[in-house]
């Protein structure tokens, strides 16, 4: 008879690292998780994997005692968002992202009611800079100003946490207070390629700037030894926290 998975200890330092499974198939994701083993406790599933069987794979990970962050960045009419969030809550995910528009955030808070799901609001994508905001029609607002405005709205609406670049974490913390989560993508170990991210920092810098969780994808999943990279990042986090 198979035994149930051992639960991840509360407050485990490994939970600070969220490994982004930015791969095209469940088979590839499953192989990466197996190679990482107990060095990884928290996984992010975004669009690419979610629409290729990732929702059922999320159930599989949760059944193994892992935590799952569904990075779906929901943004739609209120009722659609509310019911979508309710479905994700039933799945057992730990985190879910929505775009930080007030109507969307209100609907997400309503949809997660009575569950342990935490809603994270995406302020400004870390692939955006001020020029991208001008192109999108947000001028003369800068990325930093828009992050601050949306963080304040998220706080007031009862959102559990904020997704923002680590370079904005200190300012966001001052706005949302000590009880909200700050989750930062755009994390690259020293010497890693920045890729399409425009506002990047190292793992140690991210924690020092006030992030609660760091999202790292390509530097881990594309590594020759993904377990070793994950372990090195967790050591960096632990050194800062010590």
Interacting residues of 171 by C-beta distance below 8 A, sequence separation 6+ = 144, 147, 148
Model pLDDT, residue 190? 64
Active site residue 118: no
Instruction: Provide the CATH number for the domain formed by 13-241 in this structure.
Output: 3.20.20.70
Q: Out of 76, 129, 132, 212, which one is annotated catalytic?
A: 76
Question: Is 196 noted as a catalytic residue in this protein?
Answer: no
User: Is 41 assigned a ligand-binding role in the annotation?
Assistant: no
Would you kindly state where each structural domain of the chain is located, as residue ranges?
A: 13-241
User: What HEC string does the chain produce?
Assistant: CCCCCCCCCCCCHHHHEEEECCCCCHHHHHHHHHHHHHHCCEEEECHHHHHHHHHHHHHHHHHCCCEEEEEEEECCCHHHHHHHHHHHHHHCCCEEEEECCHHHHHHHHHHCCCCCCEEEEECCCCCCCHHHHHHCCCCCCCHHHHHHHHHHHHHHHCCCEEECCHHHHHHHHHHHCCCCEEEECCECCCCCCCCCCCCCECHHHHHHCCCCEEEECHHHHCCCCHHHHHHHHHHHHHHHHC
Q: Which two tokens stand for residue 121?
A: 């609001």
Active site residue 76: yes
- pLDDT of the residue at 2: 37
Are residues 182 and 226 in contact, defined by beta-carbon separation less than 8 angstroms? no
Whether the Cβ atoms of residue 186 and residue 201 lie closer than 8 Å to each other = yes
What's the pLDDT score for residue 11? 57
Name the phi and psi angles at 92, rounded to 5: 100, 15
The one-digit pLDDT tens for each residue of the chain (242 residues) are 333 444 444 459 999 999 999 999 999 999 999 999 999 999 999 999 999 999 999 999 999 999 999 999 999 999 999 999 999 999 999 999 999 999 999 999 999 999 999 999 999 887 888 999 999 998 888 988 999 999 999 999 999 999 988 888 999 999 999 999 999 988 878 655 545 544 468 899 999 999 999 999 999 999 999 999 999 999 999 999 77
pLDDT at residue 188, rounded to an integer: 79
Q: What pLDDT sits at residue 200?
A: 63
17 forms beta bridges with 214
Which residue among the candidates 71, 112, 160, 236 is catalytic per the annotation? 71
Catalytic residue among 16, 66, 73, 112: 73
| 130 annotated binding-site participant | no
How confident is the model at residue 128, as a pLDDT?
A: 86
77 marked ligand binding residue: yes
Residue 103 labelled as part of a binding site? no
What was the pLDDT predicted at 45? 98
| Cα 239 to Cα 159: distance, rounded to the nearest angstrom | 30
């Amino acid at each position: 008879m198979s035994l149930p998975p051992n639960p991840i200890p509360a407050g485990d330092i490994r939970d600070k690292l969220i490994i982004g499974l930015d791969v095209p198939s469940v088979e590839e994701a499953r192989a990466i998780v197996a190679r990482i083993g107990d060095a990884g406790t928290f996984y992010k599933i975004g669009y690419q994997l979610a629409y290729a069987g990732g929702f059922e794979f999320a159930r599989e990970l949760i059944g193994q005692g892992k935590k799952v962050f569904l990075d779906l960045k929901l943004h739609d009419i209120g009722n659609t968002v509310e019911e979508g969030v309710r479905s994700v809550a039933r799945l057992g995910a730990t985190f879910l992202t929505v775009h930080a528009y007030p109507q969307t955030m209100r609907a997400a808070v309503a949809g997660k009611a009575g569950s342990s799901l935490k809603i994270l609001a995406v302020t400004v994508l870390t692939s955006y800079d001020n020029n991208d905001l001008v192109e999108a029609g947000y001028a003369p607002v800068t990325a930093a100003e828009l992050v601050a405005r949306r963080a304040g709205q998220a706080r007031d609406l009862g959102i559990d946490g904020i997704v923002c670049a680590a370079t904005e974490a200190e300012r966001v913390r001052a706005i949302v207070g000590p009880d909200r989560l700050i989750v930062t993508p755009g994390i690259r170990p020293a010497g890693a390629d920045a890729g399409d991210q425009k506002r990047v920092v190292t793992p140690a810098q991210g924690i020092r700037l006030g992030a609660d969780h760091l999202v790292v994808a390509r530097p881990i999943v594309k590594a020759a030894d993904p377990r070793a990279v994950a372990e090195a990042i967790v050591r960096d986090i632990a050194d800062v926290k010590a």
